[in-house]
Amino acid sequence: MKSIWIRLLLIIVAVLAYIWWKERDKGITFVRYEEFGIDMPVNYKIHGIDVSKFQKEINWQAVKQMQVDKIRISFAFIKATEGITRQDAAFKQNWDRAGKAGIIRGAYHFFYATRDPLKQAINFHNVADLQSGDLPPVLDIETSNNQPAAVIRSTAKIWLEEMEKVYKVKPIIYTNIHFYETYLGNEFDRYPLWIAHYYQKEKPRSDRSWLFWQHSDIGRVNGIRTTVDFNVFKGDSAALAKLCIP
Set 35, 142, 164, 181: catalytic member: 142
83 within 8 A of 122, measured Cβ to Cβ? no
- Separation CA 243–CA 246 (nearest Å): 8
Q: Apex CA 51: angle with CA 165 and CA 125, to 5°?
A: 25
98 within 8 A of 76, measured Cβ to Cβ? yes
Catalytic site residue 187?
no
Beta-sheet pairing, 138-140 with 104-110? parallel
Residues 6+ apart with CB under 8 A from 117: 111, 155, 156, 158, 159, 162
- Separation CA 92–CA 79 (nearest Å): 10
The secondary element (H helix, E strand) that includes residue 40 is strand 38-41
The torsion angles phi and psi of 21, rounded to 5 degrees, stand at -60, -40
Strand partners, 30: 41
- Separation CA 138–CA 193 (nearest Å): 9
The secondary element (H helix, E strand) that includes residue 177 is helix 177-179
Active site residues: 142
